[in-house]
Chain A
Amino acid sequence: MDHAHLNARPVPDRDPAWLARLFWGSAALALMWPLLVATEFKVWQLWEPDSLRISGNFLASFWPMAHGSEFLRLMLAETWRTVAMATAGVTLALFLAIPLTLLSTRVISISALSGRMARGPFWLRQSVRWLLIVLRSVPELVWALVFVRVVGLGPTAGVLAIALTYGGMLGKVYGEILESGEIHATETLLRNGAGRIQAFFYGLLPASAAELTSYTVYRWECAIRSSVVLGFVGAGGLGQQMDNSMKMFNGGEVATMLLIFMALVALADRLSAWLRKALG
């Protein structure tokens, strides 16, 4: 059978969209040029003999990895401090996030039951949301830098920095979880005269408890990584030890600490996944 009628149009022997692709490709390269200049992206510098020598020495010092028993005991203590800093930070963040969530969520608004929220409650809720956004947007490293100057070096600065940033994050996501759930029960309770806190505990919380705890456990795991990063500005723990060892070019200690850190993150990830599954 002759199927020539199916191929009425000749098959082009080059890409029909080649001009558009060439144009946008060149435009992208042209846009990348100022970025490359601004970031001083001189890749060839990595292969200069001086740089190669320094990097080579540093990498070579990674082996043998530091394994003295005193060093490992110090590492164990510092790892515990990192985990404790994250736990304390998230606990304080909860103290901040839970009241702010209750203040900002529209679901327990009594004036909104009649259709349109009154102006006072609306602006109160809006300003609490803005406060949460500000708390969330300032990077925790910046908070830590400020607090180190106020309360001194040590874990207090790290705990406070994590508490403020994570309080903002938790507050915002708790609000989203509460508002996206089933709100009919809460509205009914409010209409029938229940107080706001009663409506929250008996209407909103049972439905969203699993998702709320799951997110909190995930944020605890993120807080462990944050507290290692905060250690670089003086908040103690594994991060500060890593910073010290890197400044002394002690590759063996840095290698051991990197391994410990990756193991800690993997362990926290497993624990967090197991907890989230167990909590439903």
Chain B
Amino acid sequence: MPVSQPTAVRRAPPLPPPIWDARCKACWFTVVLLGFVVISFWSLDLQWGQFLSWQAAKDMSRFLGEFFPPETSADFLWKVTIGAWETLAMSALGTVLAAMGGLALALPASRLVAGDTARARGPTRLLLNALRSIPELVWAALLLISAGLGPFAGTLALALHTTGVLGRLFAEAVENAPTGPGDALRAQGVGQGRVFLYATLPQILPQLMSYTLYRWENNIRAAAVLGVVGAGGLGQLLAFHMGLFQMGKTATVLGAMLILVAIVDAASHLSRRLLTR
């Protein structure tokens, strides 16, 4: 039965907004972003055929199958344990050295009082940025030339990069510390060094230790892979055995890396919880 239209005029439902409007900034932004992504993929000439074909899937599964069973002979496990100890020592020592260096650089890089001219602030911040922006691996590759192969270069690389990171974080902590105790000492005529040691440092020390522990988590991952360029530890074992296509041993080293990272993550998390209790 046909439905009769009501005599009153029905208002048409409102149309959705147009997909494209030349005045809409978000539209232009999305178009530019999509164009950027498409050009990236197109200019890279990625070998999709190598990766997505049936043959590639078979090759990949055969390759992954070589990882099992992982090598568990006693003397190889001993070598892996020594490598893990080297990696742990690299990350711990690098972080400790970086904390000391960062604290030393944080003083000139911060404005200690409101009226401080702080002439060294600009150059020191520039130095910290330079140290920070070069990744650990690049530092390690550069330091291998002077420090030779082995974990020494890796420790120095971690220390230099992390000094940049921690120095900046420490300087910000110093600048944001409450000024009450420091002002009280300054009013008595105490010098700047002692004001820092007895007023600012005790206030910010828990925060500094928290930053340092957090960077240790990051550094253990970095230390594990620094060995790939020759800086010792698990990374050097990994690159060595992968180069010889000994996949069982490679799988053991990878497992050790994951376990080490998990242990350090847990230790750092626990210590930070204990600090803030």
Contact = CB atoms under 8 A, between A and B. Distances in A.
Chief secondary structure at chain A's binding surface: helix
B126 to A, nearest CB: 11
Contact of A149 (B90, B135, B138, B242): B242
Given A40-B150, A159-B44, A151 B89 contact: no
A39 B228 contact: no
Given A88-B40, A138-B258, A225 B96 contact: no
B148 A139 contact: no
B133 A262 contact: yes
A160 interface: yes
Interface in A221-251: 225, 228-229, 232-233, 239, 242-243, 246, 249
B220 to A, nearest CB: 10
B51 A55 contact: no
A54 B147 CA distance: 10
A55 B228 contact: no
Contacts of A39: 86, 89-90, 93, 151-152, 154-155, 232
Contacts of A68: none
Interface in A80-127: 80-81, 83-85, 87-88, 91
Nearest to A158: B44
A55 B145 contact: yes
Interface residues of B, number: 55
Given A40-B151, A139-B257, A145 B228 contact: yes
A81 B44 contact: yes
A175 interface: no
Given A55-B145, A137-B258, A155-B44, 18 more contacts: A34-B89, A39-B86, A41-B152, A81-B43, A84-B40, A85-B40, A85-B44, A88-B46, A146-B242, A159-B44, A160-B51, A225-B133, A228-B138, A229-B135, A232-B229, A246-B142, A246-B145, A258-B138
Interface of A: 32, 34-36, 38-42, 45-46, 51, 54-55, 58, 80-81, 83-85, 87-88, 91, 137-139, 141-142, 145-146, 149-152, 154-156, 159-160, 225, 228-229, 232-233, 239, 242-243, 246, 249, 254, 258, 261-262, 265-266
28 contacts: A35-B93, A38-B85, A41-B93, A46-B147, A84-B40, A84-B41, A84-B44, A88-B44, A88-B46, A91-B37, A137-B261, A137-B262, A138-B254, A142-B238, A142-B257, A145-B238, A146-B63, A150-B56, A151-B51, A156-B46, A159-B46, A225-B133, A229-B135, A232-B137, A232-B141, A239-B138, A258-B138, A265-B133
